[in-house]
């Protein structure tokens, strides 16, 4: 399967290119259906993209029609600095005219993460009624150095989930308790954008793009849209292209 791999000199350039494409998707979706549903990624790589959406691209995004979800979340309070919601709030959500009711954070206040996962699945099912899987207009994903994406880590039982949209997961990095979309829930999106930068992601990127995916070893390789497209927005350091340095560009 050919991958749409787009390589840029650095994080700034890939973030700008992804922002340009994202606002075009949002405008087209909003014009067609009045809504643009996006699942945000956590971690550090998307920060610059979010900042650009809140500044240079703010005026080109149809915010009232944007519905914001998350692809995964650390199971910590929303005001915890490790929270993916907190990162999106400080880099994007606090700076754009999004109706409060359009922001759907993953809940992290239930005693049992499993209960929270089921609650979030109900939120998604309410937004994507009478569908076997959610149909996000766009899912944003990052890439871990060892091949994880969202909170789907190598060897996780969540990787073989074929029915549920959202599950609780224990992961080998802090904070260990997570909520995450499952692979089928991701793979039914119309568009999936991976963002990856830095030499540290080089091996994982190669594994994720391999012709024969080893999903147990590299969960990102399991992101294969059913009826949609996946675009990889990467820098030269992650791709190992010309001018790549051993230090990477992070
Ligand atoms: C998270 C993310 C996770 C992230 C990767 C890459 O909650 O941490 O969802 O999947 O995208 O770990 O993280 P960086 O962008 O910080 O390298």
Q: What is the pLDDT of residue 2?
A: 62
Q: Which atom of ligand 1 is nearest to the CA of 73?
A: 7
Scanning the structure block, which residue is given the tokens 């497209």? 229
Q: What is the pLDDT of residue 157?
A: 97
Q: What is the pLDDT of residue 243?
A: 52
With a pLDDT cut of 90, the percent of the chain lying above it is 95
Alpha carbon distance 75, 126 (integer Å): 22
Ligand 1 centroid from CA 22, angstroms? 19
Write out pLDDT tens, residues 90-125.
999 999 999 999 999 999 999 999 999 999 999 999
CA 117 and chain centroid, separation: 17
Q: In terms of Cα–Cα distance, which of 185, 214, 236, 187 is closest to 5?
A: 236
Alpha carbon distance 9, 115 (integer Å): 43
Query: What stretches of the chain show up as alpha helix (H) in DSSP?
Result: 11-33, 47-54, 84-91, 113-127, 183-187, 202-208, 236-239
Q: What is the pLDDT of residue 3?
A: 75
Ligand 1 centroid from CA 128, angstroms? 26
Write out pLDDT tens, residues 202-242.
999 999 999 999 999 999 999 999 999 999 999 999 999 66
């Amino acid at each position: 399967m050919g991958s749409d791999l787009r390589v840029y000199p650095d994080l700034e350039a890939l973030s700008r290119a992804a922002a340009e494409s994202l606002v075009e998707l949002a405008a087209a979706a909003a014009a067609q259906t009045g809504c643009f549903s996006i699942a945000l990624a956590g971690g550090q790589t998307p920060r610059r993209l979010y900042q650009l959406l809140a500044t240079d691209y703010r005026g080109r995004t149809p915010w009232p029609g944007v519905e914001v979800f998350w692809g995964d979340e650390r199971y910590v309070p929303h005001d915890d600095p490790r929270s993916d919601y907190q990162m999106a709030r400080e880099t994007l959500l606090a700076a754009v005219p999004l109706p409060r009711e359009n922001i759907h954070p993953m809940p992290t206040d239930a005693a049992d993460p499993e209960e929270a996962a089921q609650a979030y699945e109900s939120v998604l099912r309410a937004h994507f009624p009478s569908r076997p899987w959610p149909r996000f207009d766009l899912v944003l994903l990052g890439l871990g150095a060892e091949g994880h994406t969202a909170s789907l880590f190598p060897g996780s039982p969540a990787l073989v989930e074929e029915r549920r949209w959202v599950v609780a997961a224990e992961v080998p990095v802090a904070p260990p308790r997570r909520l995450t979309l499952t692979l089928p829930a991701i793979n039914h999106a119309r568009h999936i954008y991976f963002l990856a930068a830095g030499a540290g992601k080089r091996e994982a990127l190669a594994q994720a793009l391999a012709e024969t995916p080893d999903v147990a070893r590299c969960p990102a390789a399991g992101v294969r849209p059913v009826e949609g497209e996946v675009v990889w927005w990467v820098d030269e350091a992650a791709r190992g292209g010309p001018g790549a340095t051993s230090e990477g560009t992070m």
